[in-house]
Amino acid sequence: MWFFDPTLLLFVIPPLLLGLWAQARVRSAYQRASRIRSRRGITGVETARTLLEAEGVNGIRIEPTPGMLSDHYHPLQRKLALSEQVYGDDSLAAVGVAAHEAGHAIQHARRYVPMYLRTALVPLTQFGSMLGQVALGIGILLVFMGLVLGKWILLAGIIGYAIVFLFTLVTLPVEFNASKRARVALVEHGLIDRDEMPEVKGVLDAAALTYVASTVSVLGALLQMLFVYNRAR
């Protein structure tokens, strides 16, 4: 029979707190920058379109999408989706977010290897995430009941979460690089002045932190499963 070990909380609570803090920081940075109009009066969609044209990236559709901060780039569809708060807004927050997503389209056009690797991992990651979540709950329950089958289910979950962890690791350079491209391009192409950059950078850095928190969270789940698996052996 396996009993609950308080050590498991070390794999759950710190990642949870980091994730909550990262989300709070994003909201705070975005709200602050959303109250500051860009000096050029350029909107999110205009920012993305201007940067793509300036960088020679053609054939990208830019469309509004519902949801708060639901902005993303579809490499397979060659579509840049901007949330309604970003699409038509001329705040520094909107400019920064739109530039970041344009950065992903530029990565795609420049054949940035980590982005291609991340795209290739998406189907496998979706399966790994589903497998890991199901196996974590069922596996721990069966181990707690003293059933040998539990450790084999946990092993399958470990493999699933390992795939997800690899995906989150690959995502980090993709996101950091997109933000770097955005900061450089915004100034280089005259869309913002240098003294406007701190607010834009604040939004981009806060958003990047959420990806770090996601990586830590997946790592915590993976370590949790490894801990239980080793105890069950």
pLDDT recorded at residue 4: 56
Residue 188 bears catalytic tag: no
Q: What is the pTM of this model?
A: 0.87
Domain membership of residue 32 (yes or no) is yes
Handedness of CA 81, 83, 87, 93 (dihedral sign): negative
- In percent, the amount of the chain with pLDDT more than 90 equals 69
Domain membership of residue 177 (yes or no) is yes
Instruction: Using DSSP bridges, classify how beta strands 79-83 and 72-74 pair: parallel, antiparallel or unpaired.
Output: antiparallel
Domain membership of residue 29 (yes or no) is yes
Domain membership of residue 129 (yes or no) is yes
Give the DSSP letter of residue 37.
Answer: B
- Among the listed residues 46, 55, 63, 101, the single catalytic one is 101
Q: Which residues contact 7 (CB under 8 A, 6 or more apart)?
A: 227
Mean pLDDT taken over the chain: 91
Domain membership of residue 206 (yes or no) is yes
pLDDT recorded at residue 183: 94
Largest CA distance in the chain: 67
- Number of structural domains (the chain) is 1
Quote the domain boundaries for residue 107.
Answer: 6-232
Domain membership of residue 1 (yes or no) is no
Q: What tens digit of pLDDT does each residue of 81-139 get?
A: 999 999 999 999 999 999 999 999 999 999 999 999 999 999 999 999 999 888 888 88
Domain membership of residue 140 (yes or no) is yes
Among candidates 128, 209, 210, 111, which has minimal Cα distance to 166? 128
Residues of the chain with confidence (pLDDT) below 70: 1-5, 232-233
